[in-house]
Structure 1
Amino acid sequence: MPPSRPTARCCRAVQQQIRAPLDNVWITDGVLASAFERYCHVSRLARRKSSSVPGPLENRRRLGKRKMTDLHMNTQPTLPPWAIDFPVDLSQWKWQPPTQRSSEENRDLQSQQSQSVPSMILRWWSNKGEPKEEGPDRTGIEHQPGIAFYDQLAKARAAVAASTSNAIGPAYYNFIGGLQDDLKMGILDPEAVDMAVSTFPSSLINTGVDGEVVNASIEMFLSAVVSGIASSKVLGPSKFDAGLWNLVLYRISQLPANDATTLLFQSTLEAIPRQYVNDAHEGIVAAVQTLAVTHSPGRGRAADIGAALRYLSPADHGALLDGMEAAVYEGSAAFEEEIRQKLRLLWLQTLAHMPHVDTNYLLDACVRSAYFDRGLSSLVGRDLSRLLIQQWASRGYLWSHKAVEAAWDHDSSSHAELGFASLVTHICDLEPGGFRDGRHVALLMSFFRALRRFGREKELMASLRSFCEAREKLPILPFKRLAMASRDYSTALEIFMFLDTHATKLDGKLESQWDWTAWTHHVKAMIEDESVSSFAIWKVVDCGVARSFKNPVQLQQLMKRRTKLMEDMAVWFSQADHLTDRTALRHVCRCVGWLRGHNIALSHKVLVAVLSVVTREFKRGEFGRTRRLGWLLNLVEQYQGPEERRAVAQVLQRWRRANGDLYVVAKHRADERASG
């Protein structure tokens, strides 16, 4: 059982204290006392209280006082028995005065004192240059670990050279385990590791062994290096520079693309410190090109590469992402068109699996790849749907992505034309909607954004039409949320008409789940649009009106909204120049009829709207319609009073008289031109 962490720490402290010279076989009492004191200091826990008794827990203040009084603690260590002289008998000793120095001793002392400082320095330098004999040569001792590592690499290469095509020798496995342990304990310095990574894999290639054995050996070696450094607490990943990580990734790029290489690439990128990622871009680009550009890329290869690159973002690593994209497209140029398109899609799926790659960057990459510009609408639609599902899942937008993808794949695999419609319905059925179905609408807005970027809205409408024809039961809410997400009244009207056409297949009443309140902010734009028929406008405006007013709780609020809508529609219809006089008047009369039918007084802007549509003939210089003018005057008298009616009638009379005079003058001039 390995020792606990405090015990191991104390043992290391003792070993650091006991450092006897190589030529001294004795460990003195002072060294032992210092080691014991260090052991007691390390092993003492922070929660223990100090003691007043001498020992390892003694109070520091008391220990200081005791050391000041106990002078014997600072004495020299005892000598071995044969080196101790017999004690001298000092009982017979007598003091004698000191004797004077001789003349020779005085001259030597004066000469030493009179020496200049430069001469002393010169003598010290000459003595320093002489070889010393007292200490042993420690150069060989310091380089012994490096020499041993060289020997291990040579033995490992010999083990690989002696391997067969079926198995690698056990000596190589022992080397791999020892290498990982040495890196974990920090025994090997960065220079030795850099040397090994740069030379050892290439040396295995020249062994003449089967290529698969060599690749497996190199993969094991690189895995041991990466895992050993990543798990080390002494020389961790940050202790090695970016050059080593770039070299490791470059060695990975030289291996064949398989699952083991992909896992090694993932573990390497996880171990690399974030500040080294841009500096190691060459190795990353080379490794991604190797893993992506293969004849038959696996279905999960993009997910594996995207998981390895999950920390990269266009904001911080834009140049690196551009380099990887260029490398993948450059590598795919050597293949046929079909494989080339698959490799382009694989890179797009890799970006979709990266959480920090936003939708804008992904769509820009799709445009650069020109993958969705092809004419194969059904296949491209499936690829686009799958790409969006993967991107939503990696970004955390789609919580039930596995269920949604499985249901969508089941429907679209047999009927590719139903892919878009199936994706919409399954998102609304299987994904939590959130507050007021906000999550559904947000996902569908992202869906519309991608479709419009590639100009594929018509394919969505065709898919919805096919979906309505193929299904026996149609849900209403997914279509409604899709219309809301489109933010386009033309698309919303088209979707609404799909459901109205197949009203017998709906899972409920259309007017109860998609009533007029959902269209109020689109009515003005629809009236001003010549392509939108008035029938469609009144179809959505009158949808569910009677049912909505049956709720007594919201009756007052809905009445205010409906009143404001009718007043605004009267104004908008009167200002619609593309409508004929008769059509505009009919729609204004319909709005006025609803207001009067609910005993709502006509406001000033409604009367102005009626005046505008009635006097269209006057504006063209015509006489106007007497019946229409009479209807206007009756409304003015009813809601503004008799005096206001007389004033309006006088103005209209002068306007008609002026138009008549202008008509006579114009006719006279026309006759003169005809006769002349």
Structure 2
Amino acid sequence: MAVSSSAQCYQAVRRHLRPHYDSSVWVPDSLLASAFERYAATFRTGARCGSSVPGPMEHRKRLAKRHMGELHFGQSHSAAPIWELASLVDLTQWRWSPPTPSDARRRQNVNNAETQTLSDAVLNPLRLPFPPRTDTTDDLHTLDEPLLPKDVILSGVAEPLPSISWDVHSTPRSITHRALGSLSRDIPSGMSAMPLFSEFCNSWRLALAEKLFHGEAISAVLVGITDGMMSIEFVDVYGPRTVDRLKLLLIEATIEGLCKGEAGQNMSFDHVAWSSILHIVSTIQMNTIRVFTKAIACVPDQSLKAVSSGILEILENFCNALGRAANRSTLARQSARMAIPLKKSTNIVGMNYPNARFGWLLLLARLPGVDYEYLAQSCNALEANQVARPLTGPEICQLFLVWANSRAPLEQYTELCGALRFRSLKCYRMLGASLWKTHQFHLVRRLGKFLQATGRETYIGLLAKGVSPDCQKGPKGHFRLANMALGTRRPWAAIDIFCLYEESQKRQVSFWRSIYSYRALEILTWVPEFDHRRLLKPLGIIPGRRFRIRRWQDEIRKLNRDETAEIAAVGIVTALSPHLTRREAFSLMINCSLYLKRHRNKPPRSFLRALVRNVTLHHTEGGRGSASRLRYILYILERQIGVETARDLALAMDERRRISFEQTALRASNFDTPDFSCT
């Protein structure tokens, strides 16, 4: 005898299968019958219920007889004995039948808006924060054991969903279950095709365009669907990248629906929904710049502040993603693309533009792979706006310190940042002095290049002047050269001279007795129209016009090794200068030689070689040279290195002059004699 669908046993099974947090769950009648038969067999042995002893338990016994048909599973002593129920189900005669149509369920007074499918009832315990029960006291909580015999196949569960249609009475819970159900039915179709979920997104977009949902409802739907996607079961089935792709599909449909719904209607901005959209975009581990640009374009200008938290979350995700990239072109391209939507929030109010611009530049300075050239180009591009003011001196200094510290931790970074408290151009000078005190002279040169790249060449002089005072404590020679470079408006030369001196101190060698002094003199003097007398007068090599009249002759002090090396280096670099004639160079070198002689010092061998080279350079070029200069040079050599060496050198020079004269005469005769070979 078949059991009626309205029997009390069916109602008991429905109450047991229904989750505690939902109103009702629709379950096929055939499945209820099989579940009833399974648990009816468990309680077929019966149990003692009530008591035969008169007393308080007699009332319970009378109640049990009155409600004989109700079952209370999970109790060791049931209220009604199971064997008193007639017409138990025979499972051997059971056959599966399709689920009851939706119209029939409505006639049974079941609310369709809060109805779940069987797949939702199975997936919901898996999405709970706690695992399902595995005890044996109640077999309905054991999900590993099937409720039906093994020879029964539930093929009807995988049937497509009916057409999606929502109204104002639809709840966010039902929409979330519909989306997750479509995802579970898309699993057999493969990862590439998602027909049911795409249909859900299309229906969701149309519902938003019709303004069926607002604010908290949209946020609840988005959060519920994304939380379901991020469960362990979905990630294991689809994979993280496919889950991100599904999120993008859902977010794009939401943005399109909201934009169409708000178009042409004077409605208040739904900041709750848009904040939820931006938050979900920040959780996607893919390139979301396109979706972010589309979302920012739909947000009104006056409502950007309401969704600022979502924008910051997206920026943080963007920075973390760029931190894993090493290609410079990728960093530049993605940064330029991200700057497009961010610029929208700064073009409206001009006062906000400098803050947003400086924040973006600080972000670029912290990114790996961004060099100072690209950072300078970004500064120039953002300063070109007519509404914005130029970057201030402290901002430029802070950008450079942040960029340099992101490449390698700077020594005494806190002390260096103390120079930023000066709100004028003095910050350049103080930062240069701080870098020099901490022996980070290479950063001074790099800061100068950064200032030059940003069009602030005039401030390099302030940077060099900040370096100079700290150098006055040491020897004066290199400081004199740097000060002379600053006097000729060449701050770069002054910074290079300071760096060369610091390099010599780092290698623990004397500045004037090393190659660094020659390089410093080359930087200073090997330029067109440089007045070498300004270099020789402070050294005393060329006396001034005014002479001091002394009543007695003072004893002239003898020069030490460093002073002698300084005079020799000045003479050698002067002799080799490409911007002086040989006559001018010879005259300056003779002044250096006389200065050394006056102080009873012998010129070094390197100085004598440079002097001989200046005189004999005509011989190598085919000229005869000046006889008076040759005689004077031989006189100096005879006094310094001896007569024999001077005689040998004179013979070699005479032979070289003779050969040069013969070659010159031969070339002249060939030029005067006409060539008739062609005729």
Q: Normalising by structure 2, what TM-score?
A: 0.48
Q: Normalising by structure 1, what TM-score?
A: 0.49
Query: Larger RCO: Structure 1 or Structure 2 (Cα < 8 Å, ≥ 6 residues apart)?
Result: 2
Give the structure with the higher percent helix. Answer: 1
